[in-house]
Structures are given as structure tokens and as C-alpha cells.
Amino acid sequence: MRGKALLYLLSMTMLACGCATAADPMRSWVRHEGGVLCDARGERAQRALARLIGKPLDSRLTVQVLQTPVVCAYGWPTGHLFVTQGLIDRLDDDELAAALAHEMGHLLDHGRLPMLASLRGCCNQSADAEVRADALGAGLLASHGIPTGAMISMLAKVRSCNDTHPGCREAIGHRIELLQDAPADAINAPPTARR
């Protein structure tokens, strides 16, 4: 048993640092997005995820940082979450947790997650899916004692980036307004209570 655990740990370490060469779609996508960045930002992303779920080893969720200046976050239905170097460098710790909570919101959204959802989703996903992910993510933040305003400030920072498409800026602005106008008890309710 110990040998299998060591082999698993080694293969996960190789994958985390971009050393594995498997042909599955996610690994190909990760390479296409610049590969995984193995530095202190990865540890920071792990701490942000731990704030939302407890010990990362207690969950099927993982998070890694993609080596790209693009400002974005992604979630795969497998529970693999990704934030880009461009995003993590712009956010404080609460806002980073909000970005991850948004991606987790997609995963919680009644299984309606397409193969890949992203914070850049205003251009790729339906507006309703993004609004639901924002609301579910804000609920996750509240249930873990993280200020829900972090979702708004995170979205405002994404909207203000130079590489954010003008159509996305408008959609993100609408999402921010919805979060600002939402009653506090709607945002602070546990995510499962809103299904």
C-alpha cells in the first residue's frame, strides 16, 4: 500500500509541475494555457482553497496556477480549479477566495457545468450561469466567514483589466450590480439552501 501511495504522490507532483505527459484533454489544455506555475503563488492558491473547504486533502477539489498573464479563473467538472498568474497577482487573499468560490459555484450549480467554465465566462457561458455562480460563490464566502464584498471587488478588478473584452466589461458590470442589489440574507444563505 505504501508503494502505491508514493507512486500516486509522485505522479500528482509531476502533474502539478507540468512534468507528466498524458494525453487527456485537461492536461493538453493546461499546456496550451502556459503550464502550471510552481512557486509561492501556488501555495497562496492552496491556502485560499483551504479557507473555503477546510483541509485540501479532505476534498476532491484542487487548485493550480497557470503561467499566463491573462486574467482568468477556470473550473473543470473533475474538481480541478485553475487561476492564472495574471489574476492571482491582482487579487488580495479574500478576492482570491472569491474567484475560487465563483468557480466552485459553477460546480455546485445543479450539474449544469459544461466541460470548462471560467471567470472569463461572460464571453463563453450564459449570463445566467455566471450570475448563479456569483451568487453561489458569495454564499460560500459567507458560510466560511469571508466578506461577500470580496466577490464584488474581485469582479471589479477583472472588469478593469486592459485585456478584458468590452462586452465582458459590460456583463461583469451587470453582475456586480446584481450582487450589490441582492438582499444580504439571499447572499448569506448556505449554497444548498438556494437550489
> Quick check: 144 pLDDT over 90?
yes
User: Given this model, what pLDDT does residue 19 score?
Assistant: 42
Range list of β-strands (E), 48-128:
62-66, 73-75, 80-84, 117-118
> Quick check: 11 pLDDT over 50?
no
One-letter amino acid at 139 equals G
The strand pairing partners of 75, in sequence order, are 81, 117
What is the overall mean pLDDT for the chain? 80
> Quick check: 124 pLDDT over 90?
no
Return d(Cα 171, Cα 10) in angstroms, integer. Answer: 42
124, 156 Cβ separation under 8 angstroms: no
- For 147-192, the pLDDT digits (tens) are 999 999 999 999 999 888 888 899 999 999 999 998 765 555 545 4
Question: Maximum Cα–Cα distance for the chain, whole Å?
Answer: 54
In terms of Cα–Cα distance, which of 146, 131, 160, 140 is closest to 81?
140
